[in-house]
Amino acid sequence: MTDHRDAGAVRDLHAFIAGLPKAELHVHHVGSASPRIVAELAARHPDSKVPTDPEALADYFTFTDFAHFIEVYLSVVDLVRTPEDVRLLTYEIARDLARQQVRYAELTITPFSSTRRGIDERAFMDAIEDARKAAEADLGTVLRWCFDIPGEAGLESAEETTRLATDDRLRPEGLVSFGLGGPEIGVPRPQFKPYFDRAIAAGLHSVPHAGETTGPETVWDALVELRAERIGHGTSSARDPKLLAHLAEHRIALEVCPTSNIATRAVRTLEEHPIREFVRAGVLVTVNSDDPPMFGTDLDNEYAVAARLLDLDERGLAGLAKNAVEASFLDDAGKAKLAAEIDTYTTAWLAP
Ligand SMILES: O=C(O)c1cccc(C(=O)CC[C@H]2O[C@@H](n3cnc4c(=O)[nH]cnc43)[C@H](O)[C@@H]2O)c1
Ligand SMILES: [Zn+2]
């Protein structure tokens, strides 16, 4: 997409974004493994097929379609084999987030993928919790977890994820929500209703992916059957005006990940991305990075993309950051504190 804005103004906006305190609501655990982390994990497990050279890795992270993306994603999942790998990955993700002034992140983790590969469930929970506490103490970034069902792995994965998320002896302190990821085609959302019912009854928020690779009917299913409080992507909602009105009326946020949608070829070009339609319809839009190194992006870049697509200035960007705070599962005091920090930063930046 052509950027018609003055180069100096764009530079200033990028500097503003870099310092803006932010919340990240849609980012995957293994999907956040940076080239540095991949190299370190591959050194530990040299039989892996994932390349460690950054150039070869960039090539490896070029996807022909969503199914190819999942295939590559799972090859990186195969690199995470021990509780120490899990801890390293989690802490290093927090470091990357802290560098971008992310104060609060809800990280989507797929515990089923790890436990089925032989990582002990207790050790897995201890590893993520240990990293979470260290990240908060060392870096000031608060991490929370969303455990997601990898839908294509079937109801066995749904049962296992629900058990891990609701068993009081296992359930980690940082867990706030319950999700559903992976391909949507051939994986109808309603079959997961009993699992979401159990997770919601155990106090978790419902945040399934929907409408990323299928139509608006999947988003309706997520809302009606899975009682979604936010929607992962929700891209195809733009094709259903009634759905947009429903999302807007009920303040159900969309976790929009523009670069991800291009990288997986769910949307053809950024110019065609429906984010503008969402905003026009009054939907609570949040901007997120999904699987940042795999898509050659990070949260700062997603804010820059949104600024370009929505023609946002500093106040508009601060508004976008505050949307994420509103849609987050922080408590009221945490929301007020982060919103105030965003305001203070913006006021200071714009002061003459
Ligand atoms: O772990 C397994 O053995 C396994 C077996 C069959 C299927 C799966 C999956 O489908 C895993 C999908 C995996 O992808 C994650 N993810 C990351 N980014 C996205 C996205 O943009 N849209 C949907 N899913 C995404 C998701 O969290 C799952 O862990 C696994
Ligand atoms: Zn996602």
pLDDT at residue 2 in the model = 60
Give 103-148 pLDDT, tens digit per residue: 999 999 999 999 999 999 999 999 999 999 999 999 999 999 999 9
Spacing, Cα 285 to ligand 1 middle (Å): 23
Question: Which amino acids are annotated catalytic?
Answer: 212
Give 252-307 pLDDT, tens digit per residue: 999 999 999 999 999 999 999 999 999 999 999 999 999 999 999 999 999 999 99
The DSSP H or E segment spanning 53 is: none
CA atoms within 13 A on the CB side of 144: 20
Spacing, Cα 181 to ligand 1 middle (Å): 5
Q: Is the ipTM of this complex over 0.90?
A: yes
pLDDT at residue 123 in the model = 98
pLDDT of 1 higher than 70: no
pLDDT of 185 higher than 80: yes
Spacing, Cα 182 to ligand 1 middle (Å): 4
Helix spans in the chain (H): 7-19, 35-44, 54-60, 66-77, 83-99, 111-115, 121-139, 155-166, 193-201, 216-224, 241-249, 258-263, 275-280, 299-310, 314-327, 332-350
Sheet holding 209-210, edge to edge: 209-210, 230-233, 253-256, 285-287
Neighbour-count burial of 4, counting CB atoms closer than 10 A to its CB (0-12 exposed, 13-18 middle, 19+ buried): exposed
pLDDT of 68 higher than 70: yes
Going by their DSSP bridges, the two strands 253-256 and 175-181 should be labelled as unpaired
Mean pLDDT confidence for 214-242: 98
pLDDT of 3 higher than 90: no
Ligand 1 environment, Cβ below 6 A: 28, 31, 70, 73-74, 77, 108, 110, 113, 116, 148, 150, 152-153, 181-182, 209, 212, 260, 290-291
| pTM summary value | 0.97
Indicate which ligand has the atom closest to the C-alpha of 24.
2
pLDDT at residue 208 in the model = 98
- Give the atom of ligand 1 at the shortest distance from the alpha carbon of 113: 1
Nearest CA residue ID for atom 14, ligand 1:
182
Angle between helices 241-249 and 216-224 (to 10 degrees): 40
Give 88-102 pLDDT, tens digit per residue: 999 999 999 999 999
CA atoms within 13 A on the CB side of 187: 24
